[in-house]
Structure 1
Amino acid sequence: MGIAAPKSVLAGAWIGIAECVLGLGYGVFLVVRDLMGYRDQAAVISGWGTALWFFLIFGAVMAGAVMLLRGARWGRGPIIMLNLCLAGVSYYMFTSGALSLAIPTALCAIAALFCMFNPKAVDWAARSM
C-alpha cells in the first residue's frame, strides 16, 4: 500500500471521523424531525433534501477517513476540503454571534488542516504517489 501515514495524518483522520459523526447525526435528526411532521414554511429546501446533502458529503468524507486509517491515502483530500469549508462556516458563525458553535468548529477545522498540511504529512503525500 505504500509508505505508512504519519501520526498527524491519522489524527486528522480521527478528527474527520468525529466531524462526520456529528454531520451524519444532524442528517438523521433532520429526517426524524420531518417524519414527526415538522414543517418550516419559510424554508426553501426540505429537511429531507438537507439530510441527503449531509449524508452524501459527510458519508464520503467518513469513507475517506476510514480508508486513511486502513492505510490508503486517498482520504486526505476529502478531509481537507471539508475542513476548508468548516473554517468558512466558523467565520460566519463568529459574525452571527454564535460563539459557542464557532469556536469548536474553528478549532477542529484548524487542527485537522494542521494535521494534513504539516511538513511530515505533505512529505508523506508527495512520496506515496
Structure 2
Amino acid sequence: MTLPDPVLATPKLPLDQDGGPVFSEPWEARVFAMTVKAHENGVFSWSEWAETLGAELAKDGDGACLGYYDHWLNAFEALLSRKGVAAAGQLQGLRDAWDQAARATPHGEPIELKR
C-alpha cells in the first residue's frame, strides 16, 4: 500500500516493511480509513489531523495506557466534534452502544447494534 506523504508523516504511525499501516484489529483499519476519507472530503486538513493526534498521544506520555489506535480514535472524535460534524455526546453514545453490544455478543459472532 502506498500512502500519500502527509499520511506517512502522521505521528508514530506504525508501518510494515512495505510502508503500509499495521493494524491489530479490524476496528483500527476502519477508523484509519474513516479518518483518511474525512480528510479527502475536506472535513479537516492533514496538518490539523496530525496536530490533534500528536496532542492526544502526548497525553499518554510513554504510550503505556492506551494503544496507538485508541489515541487515534480519541483524536478523530475530538476533531469531528470541533468541526461540528458530530456532537461529543452523540459520539460517546455510539461508543457506549458498541461497547454494550460487544459485551453481549458471543465470541466469534458479528457484533450488531440494536436499532
Same fold (TM > 0.5): no
Q: Which has the higher contact order (CA 8 A, sep 6+)?
A: 1
Richer in helix (by share): 1
Which of these two proteins has the greater Rg computed from alpha carbons? 1
Shorter-normalised TM range? 0.3 to 0.5
